[in-house]
Amino acid sequence: MAHSERSLLPCQVLNDCSIARTAAEQMALDEWMLELANEQHTPLLRFYTWAKPTLSLGYFQRYADRKSHQPSLDCVIVRRATGGGAILHDHELTYSLAIPKSKLSSYQSQPLYDACHETLIETFSDFGVSTHSYLTSDPSADARTSKAEQPFLCFLRRATGDLICQDFKVVGSAQRRVQGALLQHGSILLAKSEFAPELPGISELTGKSLSAEELMQAWEPRLLQRLALEKKSFSRNFLDMDRFTEIANIKFGAQTWLKKR
């Protein structure tokens, strides 16, 4: 993605790593970012962590399937608006990036995905952590694998572009569109959770203990530079708006959404 000949585009950045939110609020805020990006005609970037260990089901997963994973049965559960397998959010940095419809000619889906993961590889390298993008020899292999054959947890699955460290997946991202705007959000597994003990994180794999804040501070400027975005502080006043609460309450916090499948 070449941006050297284009002026920087303002991007509102929100560091939410120290803010405790419910699982429904986290998902609602990601979705609201799409609406806000379109309204303001500007990209939005958010970094966050999780107040409690949380299991998020992929949009197409059955609620009943969560019983197949015993270690996470006592965790808070929510359903994402993006597909893929379930994610146990605990010791991780989560990010979300919303691109308004009016800017998609400059920020298309695959280059955006690549930019996020490639700059993460570079940032990890600064900390002495070696990661690489997963490449499958058959791009259609995942599509042909039946849902019944896929592992319940997203980080036990493999898709082209996932970041791998010592044969384990440590970064996965997904995209969705709403009213033309594009959202990419993803999870970066910093350390193993007791609620998903089969998934080692960067700490266990490399001996490097990175905090979410530490990684965010190192990655953010590199990502913004790669995307030719200029950081603008995000006013937290928008969090008081009725729309954010509405999305959290009537959608992501509702049993009808959680158990829709």
Which residues are part of the catalytic machinery? Answer: 154
Position 12, amino acid: Q
**In terms of Cα–Cα distance, which of 75, 42, 76, 81 is closest to 61?**
81
Q: How far apart are CA 48 and CA 38, in angstroms?
A: 22
Q: How far apart are CA 216 and CA 95, in angstroms?
A: 9
Whether 32 and 40 have beta carbons less than 8 Å apart is answered as no
Q: Which two tokens stand for residue 113?
A: 């995905």
What is the residue-wise DSSP string for 113-163? HHHHHHHHHHHHHHTT---EE---SSTTHHHHS-GGGS-SBGGGS--TT-E
Q: How far apart are CA 236 and CA 239, in angstroms?
A: 6
Question: Would you give the DSSP letter of residue 49?
Answer: -
Q: How far apart are CA 93 and CA 65, in angstroms?
A: 25
The beta-strand segments (E) located in the chain are 9-16, 44-48, 54-57, 76-79, 87-89, 92-99, 132-133, 163-165, 168-178, 181-189, 229-233
Phi, psi (deg, nearest 5) at residue 227? -95, 5
Q: 203-218 in b/e burial notation, b at 16+ Cβ within 10 A?
A: bbbbeeebebeebbeb
